[in-house]
Structure formats: C-alpha cells, structure tokens
Structure 1
Amino acid sequence: MKNLLFTIFTFSSILFYAQNQRFSYEYKFVTDSTAKDKSQTELMYLDISKKGSKFYSRDKAVADSIMDEMNKKGSNDFEGIKFGQVQSIVEKSYPDYKIYFFNRVDMDEYKVSDERKLDWKILSEKEKIGEFNTQKATTYFAGRKWIAWFTTDIPFQDGPYKFRGLPGLIVKIEDKANSHSFILKGVKNLKPDEIWISENDTKRYEPLIILSHDKYNKQVIDQRNNPTKGLRQLMARGGTVKFTDQDGKELDTSKMMREQEQRAKENNAKNNNLLELDILK
C-alpha cells in the first residue's frame, strides 16, 4: 500500500522494543475463484506484547472506535464509515501459542478455539524481502498449501492470521493458488499503554458463544444455507422485524425476507474462495 507511514527497524531496535510492537501486513485476497483477476486488499495489524498477539483489520478497528464515540453521543448516523472487509480477529497466547478466533455469524458472535497444529517443512531456499533476510517454509493448512518466508532477525514465532511456529516472524505467506497472501509492510514500536485489548474484554450486548473449530464450521455452513435463519428465530421468539423504504414506509416483511435470502445466497455463491477453504468441503 502506498500510504504506509511505518518504518522498518533494524534488528537491534526490534530487540529493544521486543515486547510491544505492531507489524502491518497487506492482505491481498480473491473472494470469487471464477474471477481471480479481481483481488481486494486490506491493511491488517499484528500487535505483539508479552501476553501474546492480536491480528485484526485496521479499518475495522477505526470504524469500531468511531462508532463507540458516536454511540456515546447518541448518534446513529454511521454514513461514510469504512467498516473494512475483514471482520474476524485472531488472538494467540504466549508462550503456548493457543489460538482463539473471533467472528460474527449471522446475529451471533463466536469465540472459537483452534487446536490444529501446523506441520512446517523448512527449506534451504533464502530470499531478501524488504530489509529482511528470509528463509522458505511450506505447510498445509485449512485445505491449502502455503508458502512462507520467515526471518530470524525478528525473534517471534508468530505471523499473520493463525500462522505461527517458525523460528522467526513470517514476513510473507501465500497459498499455492496465489489467491490469499500476506506481506509485511511495516513495523512500529508501540507505547507501553498501547497493549492490545482482548475481544474477551470488549463490551457487547450478548455474550460470546464459545465453540470448537469443527462446531463453528457447522454454524458457518448452516448460515450460508439458511441466511435469514437468525431473523426468523428472532420473530419466532416474539421479536419484531420491520423493513422500511427511504421514506420510512413499511414494506412487506415476508417479501423482503425472501429477497434478502436470495441476495445472500447469490453473494455466498461468489464468496466461494474462503481463506479456510476446507470449510466449504
């Protein structure tokens, strides 16, 4: 990305600030396997502190902050806010590197424990990427073969998304099909009071639903097959669902539900190239 303002630090500087840093990655991805020329990008942050790391979208974090301030003022005009394309968040605890994945599916928010191991094959091939000397490694994860480049110059066995376990930070990683890739774009030393806050401690209207990875995947598939299930369950419990046009005129609920379900299924058909491809199999 052209406007990144972060600076790549030297090895000694990284060691000095080793416990509180932000690594910025450009995430490039293709959502529709039939349109591989139409890629999207999102700037992602990997914040590292003594307790572990948190991987999340910069745009989502900014949008959440703006919405919190507007809610405090009693405003509900969110027009113009850039919410970001990646809503999920990954947290890793140190030193055991346990993985917790946070995401919303339909009307519910989930905390998912992921105990899958990464079996890395470290190769002899080396490459200079930016300021870093890196070494190649490969693994199979979530239905894809991944090619990673890591550097021992940064002594964290961590990386973007759920990737971890190499003897140094992952500078670049992409799947064999070149449809999902993460590349390190910058490093920033954070202040002592900028330690990341866990999603466990975020205020929400409903508590997180805690699931295993397999049970969460079933929820994702169920939502794709029944995209208005949450609204229908709300109505079955006595809740009210109303649709209005731009003039405030109430529309036919049944018709709008059918149209919403059709649009969701059409969007799902185009969103067929998930990072974790094995969810759809």
Structure 2
Amino acid sequence: MKTTRQQQDETRRQIVASAVDMMTRQGFDGTTMKDIARAAGIGDATIYKYFPTKDRVVLGFVDEAVRGALADTLATPGLADYGLQEKLQRLTDALLERLLPDREFVAEVMALARRSPLSMLAEPLASRQALREAVTDFISAAEDSGEIEPCDFKGVASGLFGDYLAGVAAYWLADTSDEFAETTQLVDLSLGVLVTALRAGLVNRVLQLGGFVLRSQMARFMQHGSGLIGVLRMAKASLGDSAAAGRPRRPAPAPAPAEPAAKPARKTRTRKAAP
C-alpha cells in the first residue's frame, strides 16, 4: 500500500507531466492552471496545494530532471574510479539525456527564465542543494586522491556548476550539429579547462575574483557564434602550460592492486524522432 508521501509524489509528477505536454503544445502563456489540473485528473483547487503558480510547475520539471540526472550519475557502475572530469561529464550528459525527450518544453523553460529570472530563482530547489553536495563530494574525492591541488572554494565551485549546466542546456538547445556534436565538444573542453585549472592550483584565484562575472555572463557567453569553443581551446592550452611550469605536483597514491571496474562507453545524445 502506498504511503501518503508516495501518493503526493506521484501526483506532483503527474501534474508536471501534464504541464509539459500542454505547454509544449500551447505555450506557457496559452496554458492555465485549470488546464493542467484537468489534464492531470485532479480538482481545480487541488493543484494549488502542490504548486501555487505555473512558474512553480515549471520549476518542478527542472527539479525532477536534476534529481533524475543525479540518481543516474551516482548509480553509474565504477563511478568511484572515475576522474573528476569524467564524473562531471557523466553528470552533465545525464542531465541532457533527461531533457532530450522534452527538448521543446526545455526551450519554453529557458524563455521563461530569460523573461522572469527572479521568479524562477525565488524558491530554492531541493535538487539544487543535492547537486551542490554531489559536486563538492566529487571535488573532495579528487583532492584526497591527489588528482588536484586543494581547493579552498569548493562551495563556490559547486554552486556555480548549476549555472554551468544551465548554460550548457542553452547551448544544446541552439545546437543543430549532428547528434549535438558541438555540445559534446563544448562540454569536453569546458570541463577540461576547469579540471586543468584545479590541477594547477589556479582555480582558487579564478573563483575568488571571477565568480560573479561567471555567474552574470554565463547565459550570454554560452551561445553559438560567441567563439566560446575557440576561447576554451586557448584557455586549456594556456592552463596546461601553466601547470607544467608551476610548482611540483603532489605525488599520486600507489595504484590499487585490483583493476578498477570498466567504465561504460559514453552515451551518444541522439535527436528525438520526429512525430
């Protein structure tokens, strides 16, 4: 027998699923709370017990997508043996895989976020905190293994990763390349730059001085035609030179006697089939 909490969670998911379907067809402005309630099979007043506004229904979709991506990532076989870049890449891929079936609706979400950024950020999401904690754990594990230099700003870096994912999603929506190859290249390069900076011990200064700039300019910069991929290539090469010329790296721990679990091949993000 289902508990009250399970029933509530199922109702929330049904409301969100109904909203996604209707807003994809009718748009955000063309869909009312009454429309969503009736499509979800609940009373017109009942929906407000779960979501007070349409904005909150949209945030419910984002919350579910991030929660699912985190669960998929943490369930990856052999994840503990992944390097930091591979863990962050797996998490980014998992989110895009979750968003792919509802790509048209994600475009509606992005349009709403640009139009009403404050209303979209006013309510903290549980998934945002869970994301921050997971990324902090990934960075801490990389520190403990000697993969990167100690990072004094793990909390800042972890918080900014949510903004990074939003920027990647915006780039992905505009990506017309085959199987979103340009987005894959963007993720590979950008995470490579981050991890290289961490290895070189440079990210503490970067985050201390540039966190606000990164947060405020991310949405504009993560666009096709911005020259971002070229900038990232140069940044990665420059950071690689800095790391090679910098202070000696901490010695890596002795390898474990057993072979680590094989890492699954990266999934290719395929396009949604046309109806």
- Asked if Structure 1 and Structure 2 have the same fold, meaning a TM-score greater than 0.5 normalized by the shorter chain, the answer is no
Q: Give TM-score scaled by structure 2 length.
A: 0.27
